Chains A and B, each alone.
Chain A
Amino acid sequence: MTTIFGYPLPVVLGQLVLGFVNGSFYALLSLGLAVIFGLLRVVNFAHGAFYMLGGFVAHLLLIWFGVNYWGALILAPLIVGALGVGVERALLRHLYTLDPLYGLLLTFGLAMMFEGFMQQQFGSSGITYPVPAALTGFYKLGFMVLPIYRAWVIVASLTVCFLVWILIEKTKLGATLRAATENASLTQAFGINVPVMVTLTYGAGVALAALAGVLAAPITQVSPHMGTSLVVVVFAVVVIGGMGSIFGSIISGLMLGFVEGLTKVVYPEASTTVIFVIMAIVLLIRPTGLFGRD
């Protein structure tokens, strides 16, 4: 069998693919987190809970209404995004004049409520979500076997990340968003309805988390706590990348997933902590993060 540094090649490649899959979830989640933080100055602790809700909505759409995966991919982010809009209008809105720490605390409380509620309704064991028929099976690449669904997750997440990046950096809407992030009151003075923009931004960021949840459902199973520790990892990713940078959060998300996959091969015991160790090192060398400015 072909080996690489003494490890069987298919094992290494398999873990790296899995690493990329996780990395693309990190990228989607930290992207949403960064967009929300940019405009609202809220670190959205409920991001993991919204990711979980995305998975659950997909599952419930399937068993209650028979909506398939492709429908869920569109509908679940819309539904969860609408919930996010409600949260922003009803709750977060009241905190903008206060210390940003209160936003973190409020969304932490919200995460507890969502997770507790789902656990009460559906129990804490994982629910299997079927891989859609079109994406079952494997690509035989000669040196390894690649599950089609995993390849799809990577391609789909990266495409979405790329589109969001284009939207923010290259379109008029994105320019307005960046202007509001830079100076909200001045942007408002130019006749832009900033409060509506803030609401929609939160909704969109949350919808991205829900999309990641739907993409993850066939891989990780749907459970009330699927986002609980993920959100902490994504926080670390954001600290490493630097919260100010959209591009930085995408790249560092992917990169860290890759490193995590590599660690699973070389030293599995450390795979859960490697991202936090990298975070500590980055803080020592470059406290503002790899792509951060402030």
Chain B
Amino acid sequence: MRLSPSRIVELLLLAFALCVPFLGIYPVFVMKLLCFGIFAAAFNLLLGFSGLLSFGHAAYFGIAAYITAWFRVKTGLSTELAILAGVATSAFAGLVIGTLAIRRQGIYFAMITLALAQCMYFFCLEASFTGGENGIQGVPRGSILGLIGLQSDVTMYFFVLTVAVAVYASIKQIVHSPFGQVLRAIGENEPRAISLGYSVNRYKVLAFVLSASLAGLGGSLKALVLGLATLSDVHQSTSGEVILMTLLGGTGTFLGPFVGAGIVVTLQEYLSDRVGAWVTVVIGAVFVICVLAFRAGIVGEIAKRFGRGATAPSA
């Protein structure tokens, strides 16, 4: 069996990820990175493979974090069910918002998703179960199926890594499925997809719900990893960050969102201690530079350099 270059890169990264806890790298940091990676990969399913720019993805990430945290803290619901509840809530939110937003295209779609996500933010700000400015703190991680305790960072790390790999694989699966091919056709030329007889809106809503659910999965895991869900999870700046992660890593590539999440999370962690509010300026500047000069993103540029099909999906 001959391995393609992209498969070699994937295996190397996986091997590295498996070694992380034994290399003296702080596992919580890498877990946070993976959660945002899942979030960005979910966002990329929309932007990269269906051409839909959602400017309010923090809504799904944030609400799932809140729901999972609430169930863990208030009801002691088991970890996997709490995650499921979070994901289901995001899926529902995605269904409602997606159905509304697909009534307009392009730039309007972006503005509508942003406005409705802001609606979600205000809901979380006003609702009593979210704990207002304090958020929900001290979320217990619990265990998987009551068997494996997740209190230790190393066990939790392998759990999060497993989920991240599963999300990565299923997004690849989705994109390469007939459903994913139709999505890409819609992204590239919507009128043509309509004229071919596809009920475009149904595909778009389904893609939106899938993306929202996976974003929610990232949010639920984040709530468990850090033990907290706060207003910043639903804030528009988080929606902006996930766009940046995807753009920086490479829109429409599989590894790109994870690479982008890695860079943005690392930047934030290291800069916020050292330069304070300048971190927003730096992130904004990276955004501007990306849009002006680096639209293919890191993985996209590498794929371009080393031939297509390496990391970008085959056209």
Contact = CB atoms under 8 A, between A and B. Distances in A.
Interface of A: 43, 91, 94-95, 98-102, 104-106, 108-117, 119-120, 228-229, 232-233, 235-236, 238-239, 243, 269, 272-273, 276-277, 279-280, 283-284, 287
Given A43-B107, A233-B115, A283-B112, 14 more contacts: A43-B110, A101-B106, A101-B110, A109-B288, A109-B291, A112-B280, A112-B284, A114-B284, A115-B280, A116-B277, A239-B104, A276-B116, A276-B122, A280-B100
Contact of A120 (B111, B115, B278): B278
B283 interface: yes
20 contacts: A91-B288, A104-B107, A104-B110, A109-B290, A112-B284, A113-B285, A115-B280, A117-B281, A119-B277, A120-B278, A229-B236, A232-B115, A232-B236, A236-B115, A272-B122, A273-B119, A276-B115, A279-B115, A283-B100, A283-B104
A105 B100 contact: no
B126 interface: yes
Contacts of A108: 240, 243, 287
Nearest to A240: B115
Contact of A116 (B108, B247, B281): B281
B278 A116 contact: yes
Main SS class of interface, A: helix
Contacts of B118: 229, 232-233, 236, 276
Contacts of A105: 243, 247, 287, 291
A107 to B, nearest CB: 9
B307 interface: no
A109 B114 contact: no
Interface residues of B, number: 43
A235 B292 CA distance: 24
Interface in B91-127: 100, 103-104, 106-108, 110-112, 114-116, 118-119, 122-123, 125-126
